[in-house]
Amino acid sequence: MYNFENKYRAIRKVWALSAVVLISSCAAKPPQETGTFKSSDLVELKRLDPTIQLDIRYATSNNFAGRPVYSEAQAFLQRPAAEALARVNKELEPLGYRLLIFDGYRPWSVTKVFWDITPKAKREFVANPKKGSRHNRGCAVDLSLWDIAAAKEVQMTGEYDEMSPRSYANYAGGTPAQRALRDLLRSKMEQNGFTVLEAEWWHFDFQGWKSYRIQNVPFNKI
Ligand SMILES: [Zn+2]
């Protein structure tokens, strides 16, 4: 079985030694973007559809940074993406599942922290802050499936934020049941305007993400 603790311990060590990282991340600024953008209309997912499940790992220590990077356990997306997600959630219900959200809109400063604490060899799993993340635009979501009858998260081919080939959307390992659940999530999301990230089965971008700006607004200012 994949050893999560070892992975997190190594990253925590980097974090503990890098107080400088935090200071530089706070001082750094998001990339300047030119062009025309839609105005931001971030919607809290739970308000739109209270049946959507949340497990906001970045508001806890149960994440690859080993410490909370959000002060509120909330998830936001731009309105069209949020509405599409609510449709996916409705379509899953008759099949016995709901959506379980790990993350949505992410302030740019958090993307910078993730980049700075991630070893170079693992940076395919984090966004380069020079370009920003689609999460910073409020058009990307990290999620899994929630089993309604069992009242728990389903078992996918790998864990959320695992930095290994098990995270690839086309990873051929795991059990047939795990692959079927991963592919069910993907097909429902694709039918509603989302595209999976090939390196991460849990990450989806919403169509038209380029029309929204990179933002650095904290949750409590939305
Ligand atoms: Zn993501």
* 3-class secondary-structure state, position 211: helix
* Residue 178, token pair as written in the block: 């795990």
Does residue 37 lie in a domain region? Answer: no
Position 28 confidence tier, pLDDT thresholds 50, 70, 90: confident
C-alpha 142 – ligand 1 centre gap (Å): 5
pLDDT, average across residues 187-204: 98
Residues sharing a CB contact under 8 Å with residue 140, sequence separation 6 or more, in sequence order: 104, 106, 133, 134, 203, 204, 205, 206, 209
Query: pLDDT at residue 169 above 70?
Result: yes
C-alpha 67 – ligand 1 centre gap (Å): 18
| 183 is annotated as contributing to ligand binding | no
Q: Catalytic: 200? A: yes
| 203 is annotated as contributing to ligand binding | yes
C-alpha 143 – ligand 1 centre gap (Å): 8
| 142 is annotated as contributing to ligand binding | yes
Within a 10 A sphere around the Cβ of 126, how many other Cβ atoms? Answer: 18
Question: Which residues span the domain enclosing 91?
Answer: 4-31+42-221
pLDDT above 90 as % of the chain: 86
Q: What is the pLDDT of residues 50-80, one digit of tens each?
A: 999 999 999 999 998 999 999 999 999 999 9
Written as one string, the DSSP assignment of 61-128 is: S-STTSS---SS---EEEHHHHHHHHHHHHHHGGGTEEEEEEE----HHHHHHHHHHS-GGGGGGS--
Burial of 16 (0-12, 13-18, 19+ CB in 10 A): exposed
Position 1 confidence tier, pLDDT thresholds 50, 70, 90: very low
Does residue 9 lie in a domain region? Answer: yes
Does residue 36 lie in a domain region? Answer: no
Position 11 confidence tier, pLDDT thresholds 50, 70, 90: low
pLDDT, average across residues 26-36: 86
Query: pLDDT at residue 13 above 90?
Result: no
CATH number at residue 189: 3.30.1380.10
Does residue 206 lie in a domain region? Answer: yes
C-alpha 125 – ligand 1 centre gap (Å): 9
Domain count within the chain? 1
Q: Of the listed 72, 153, 159, 200, which one is catalytic? A: 200
Does residue 188 lie in a domain region? Answer: yes
Q: What is the pLDDT of residues 79-132, one digit of tens each?
A: 999 999 999 999 999 999 999 999 999 999 999 999 999 999 999 889 999 999
pLDDT, average across residues 126-153: 97
C-alpha 94 – ligand 1 centre gap (Å): 26
Which one has a higher pLDDT value, 135 or 25?
A: 135
Query: pLDDT at residue 3 above 80?
Result: no
